[in-house]
Amino acid sequence: MAKSILRQEWLGLAVIAVLGFVVMATLRPSFLTPFNLFVLMSTFALATLIALGQMVTLAVGQLNLSLGSVGGLVAVSFAGLMDVWHWSAAPSLMAGLALGALAGALNGILIAQFELSAFIVTLATLAMFKGLNLALTKAQPFYHIDRIVSAFGNASIGGPIPAVLIPTVMATAVVAFIFYRLPIGRQILAVGGNSSASELSGISNKRAVITAHVMSGALAGLAGMVAVARLQLGQPTIGEDWLISSFAAPVIGGVALTGGHVSIVGTLLAVVIVALITQGLVLFAVDPFYVQLVLGGLILVAVGLNSLRSLLPIGYSSL
């Protein structure tokens, strides 16, 4: 029963995504040009990383307001290492991932070890990471990134498929593997689903929370570096507008806000839908600010549907 509902849940999203695609393609034939598909997929690549970064904290029943701020800090550090210290791409990438994970670990440790509210901790670190970013860069971009990175940001791997899709696909696969196959992933979901039950079964709730935040930080960092590759420069403003979209995709994709359940396919489909809407507004020359309106509305509709669904009795969990 629940399973069939679940399936319907993202079947609906899939139908919307496909419909949107078809509508766009018929109304604007140029939509299907290779370059447009390339652009669409590049957008998708970045947005997916951002959405996954928020999804992993939602999985454990928390949230990460500092996602964009971590992304921005990693982005400028990544570019800065290449620009100022002339590091090559690979070690910079590693350092960036490590920095993202470290930032996430800081969040996680503050939340789990000191039992603080995730909201207020990540609000504080949002300001701190952003402050570090500005202090490091003096708000000026780093231009001289490794040629490999700038080439990567523009490259395609066959037809309209952008190279920046590679890290996204890899990250998605890793996240899916962790949540569906690895004990630590299951522990994160168990903590999000019922933290007292997980504690009783010997799961270290603290470790699960910290791990989720480390993953979130690493994904945010990766997203920041993909943004650098796409923009071809280390902009300090990277990440400033990730907040809404980072929540929109998982929430629309059916990820439980209370934790304990992730839907990777749903989140991916939601990212596609949001990207289609953004593109559609540009294509039809609608005021781009409607994007904000539509995103906010979608979130409300999604949570509204979720709370409706939770009213339907299915088994004991509804008692």
Partner 1 sequence: MAVGRSSRSQPNEEASTALGLLLLIVIAFAVFSWTATGFASPYNLYTLTRTAGLNVLLGLAMMVVIATGGLDLSVGATGVASAMFAGYLMQDFRFQMVIAIVAALCFGGALGFCNGFVVVFARVHSFIVTLASMSIIFGAMIVLTKAESVRDLPASFLALGKIRWFGYLSPMLIVSVAIGALIAIMLRWTDLGREILASGASSRAATLSGVRVGSRIITVHALSGMLAAAAGVMLSIRNGAMVPSMAGNLGQEWLLPAFLAPVLGGTLLSGGRAWVLTTVLAALLVTELTSGMLLMAIGEFWVQFALGSVLLLAVLLEKGRSTLMGTGEGI
Partner 2 sequence: MTLALELQGIVKSFPGVIALNGVSLAVERGSIHALIGENGAGKSTLIKIITGVHRANEGTIKVDDRIVHFVNPRAASREGIGVVHQERNLIPRFSIAENIVLDRIAAKTFAPINYREINRLGEQWLRRLELDLDVRRPVSSLTAAQAQMVEIARALSLQSKVLVLDEPTASLTSHEAEALFRVLRQLRDQGVAILLVSHKLEEIESLCDCVTVLRDGRNATSSGPLAGYDRAALVRAMVGRDFALEQAARIGFTSTASNSVPALELDGVSTSLGHRDISLSVARGEIVGLYGLVGAGRTELAKSIIGLHPIVSGELRVHGRAVRIGDVNSAVHRYSLGYVSEDRKAEGVILMHSVLANAGITIWARLRGALRLLSDSRILSNVDPLLRRLDVKAASRHAAVRNLSGGNQQKVSIAKWLAAGVEILIIDEPSVGIDIRTKAYLHQLIMNLADQGTAILLISSDLPEMVALADRILLMKDFRLVSEIANDKDYTKISADIMSRIQAVAFD
Partner 3 sequence: MRNSRLFSTIAGALFAGIVTSTAVLADPSTRIGIVAPGPHPYFTQWDAAGQQAAKDFNIGVVDYRVPAKWELAAHNALLESMASQNYNAFLIFPGDPVATRPTVADLVGMGAPVISLAGCLQDPSDAAFCFATDNTVAAYDAAKLLIKEMGGKGKIVHFAGFLTDPNTKVRIDAIARAVAETNGAVTVVDNITDLDVPEAAQDKINAFLATQGNNIDGIITTAWIPSVVAATALRKIGDKRIKMIGLDNDDLLMAAIKDGYVSGTVVENAFAQAYVGSFAVDKLRTGCKLRDDAPWKNANRSAKLMDSGTVYVTAANLDTYHDIQKDKAKGLLASFKSAYLKCP
Q: Which is nearer to partner 3, 43 or 57 (CB)?
A: 43
Query: Does residue 143 belong to the site contacting partner 3 (CB under 8 A)?
Result: yes
Query: Does residue 261 belong to the site contacting partner 2 (CB under 8 A)?
Result: yes
Q: Which is nearer to partner 2, 25 or 197 (CB)?
A: 197
- How far is the C-alpha of 310 from the C-alpha of 182, rounded, in Å? 28
- How far is the C-alpha of 296 from the C-alpha of 293, rounded, in Å? 5
Look at residues 131, 136, 127, 135 and name the one whose alpha carbon lies nearest to residue 65.
127
CB of 19 to partner 3, least distance (A): 19
Give the amino acid at 97: L
- How far is the C-alpha of 5 from the C-alpha of 279, rounded, in Å? 30
* Token pair listed for 40: 């669409």
Residues 196-235 that bind partner 2 (CB under 8 A): 196-204
* Token pair listed for 119: 């909201």
Query: Does residue 109 belong to the site contacting partner 1 (CB under 8 A)?
Result: no
- How far is the C-alpha of 250 from the C-alpha of 56, rounded, in Å? 10
- Candidates 95-103, 226-234, 263-271, 301-309: pick the segment binding partner 3 (CB under 8 A): 226-234
- Candidates 10-18, 236-244, 258-266, 307-315: pick the segment binding partner 3 (CB under 8 A): 236-244
Query: Does residue 314 belong to the site contacting partner 2 (CB under 8 A)?
Result: yes
Query: Is 312 strand, coil or helix?
Result: coil
Query: Is 110 strand, coil or helix?
Result: helix
- Residues in contact with partner 3 by the rule CB under 8 A: 28, 30-31, 33, 35-40, 42-43, 46, 131, 134, 138-141, 143, 154, 227, 230-233, 235-238, 240-241, 278-279, 282-283, 285, 288-289
